[in-house]
């Protein structure tokens, strides 16, 4: 089993120096998580990404990249505003989004004949 610490310490996130990886690597659980140390502790972390005990180095590094990209997209969706509201927020309730779809509240181009 590869050591997560040895792999993660070689990742450099130049885009934002306050972003780090947190991880757990023991016999019961193995995961990594993106943490932005400039944000409050209850806001500044992404989801946990499970790492298989059978994962090779490439899979671990690529999972770290996926976690970083997902974290950045999440922050972008929270920050993007239209008419002052975060219309693409990742925190909307899925049932509310479903109701919006059922109501057919779409804005699309007219079909050209």
CA dist., res. 39 & res. 69, Å (int):
17
> In the numeric block, which tokens belong to residue 34?
């993106």
Backbone angles phi, psi at 22, to 5 degrees: -110, 150
Asked if 50 contacts 32 with a C-beta cutoff of 8 angstroms, the reply is no
Residue-wise pLDDT tens digits, 71-105:
999 999 999 999 999 999 999 999 999 998 898 87
Asked if 34 contacts 67 with a C-beta cutoff of 8 angstroms, the reply is yes
CA 105: distance to chain centroid?
27
pTM, rounded to two decimals:
0.85
Residue-wise pLDDT tens digits, 53-65:
999 999 999 999 9
């Amino acid at each position: 089993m590869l050591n997560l610490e040895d792999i993660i310490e070689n990742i450099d996130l130049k885009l934002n120096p306050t972003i780090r990886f947190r991880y757990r690597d023991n016999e019961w659980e193995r995961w990594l998580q993106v943490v932005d140390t400039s944000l409050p502790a209850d806001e500044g972390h992404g989801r946990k990404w499970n790492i298989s005990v059978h994962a090779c180095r490439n899979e671990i590094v690529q999972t770290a990249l996926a976690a970083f990209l997902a974290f950045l997209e999440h922050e972008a969706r929270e920050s993007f505003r239209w008419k002052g509201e975060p219309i693409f927020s990742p925190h909307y309730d899925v049932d509310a989004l479903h109701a919006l779809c059922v109501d057919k509240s779409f804005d699309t181009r007219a079909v050209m004949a």
